[in-house]
Amino acid sequence: MNNKSNTNKLVVPGAKQAIERMKYEIASEFGVNLGPDATSRANGSV
């Protein structure tokens, strides 16, 4: 069994993009730069 597969079904098709935009907007309000150069610990501190 592949543990990495996502079995969640999208109920609202545009929800994923909206959540991503909201995540980056909130991070910018807190002055946190999300991205590959930041650690998970730093990203999770928000």
pTM more than 0.85: no
Whether 34 and 23 have beta carbons less than 8 Å apart is answered as yes
Residue pointed to by tokens 């980056």 = 24
Q: Taking the domains of the chain in order of start, what are their residue ranges?
A: 15-44
Task: Work out whether the CA dihedral 11, 27, 5, 14 comes out positive or negative.
Answer: positive
pLDDT, average across residues 29-45? 76
* Distance, CA of 29 to CA of 46 (rounded, Å): 10
pLDDT, average across residues 15-33? 88
Q: Is the pLDDT score of 46 beyond 70?
A: no
Confidence band (pLDDT; 50, 70, 90) for 14? confident
